[in-house]
Amino acid sequence: MQENKSTNLPRRVESRISETKFQELLTLLSKSQNQTMSSLVRDILCKQKLVVTTYDKSLDVILEKLSLIHQEINAIGVNANQVVRVFHKTGDLSKKLALAKKLANNLNEILKKQESLKNMVSPLLDKWLQK
């Protein structure tokens, strides 16, 4: 494999750079898909496209909140399904009315959670869909 590399890239080039530039390259190397410093410098010299991966830690908090809201909506949905199941089994009109009110409350809770989701996601959409 070493022979294959040397035949594809027969010329060796050496250079010296400042410590700050070297640190910049190390940072870029850690974020890029390049495995070695040589391949990174080669891509820069050949003006190839560099793919840099960034990680936004502020999204962790938002993802936790989204996960909690998802769990809450799921629990409300399960509760609503149970109410509907009992509603269809019962023949008592007063009990059906009470179950219908309970179901309406569940749906209102879902609408509130949906609104909070919308408020949380809309700034993210603005950020991600920038032109």
For 94, the token pair is 């007063």
Yes or no: say if 80 and 107 are a contact pair by the CB < 8 Å rule. Answer: yes
Question: In whole angstroms, what is the distance from residue 90 CA to residue 99 CA?
Answer: 10
Report angle CA 93, 81, 105 to the nearest 5 degrees.
70
* 43-74 tens-digit pLDDT: 887 777 766 666 667 777 888 888 888 898 89
The C-alpha atoms of residue 72 and residue 115 are separated, in whole angstroms, by 13
The set of residues, in sequence order, having a beta carbon less than 8 Å from that of 40 and lying 6+ positions away, is 25, 28, 29, 32, 34, 50
Lowest mean pLDDT across 27-31, 74-78, 80-84 = 27-31
Tell me if the pTM is above 0.75.
Answer: no
> Which of 27, 55, 25, 19 has its CA nearest to residue 43?
25
CB atoms within 10 A of CB 34: 19
Segment 9-34, tens digit of pLDDT? 788 888 888 999 899 888 888 888 77
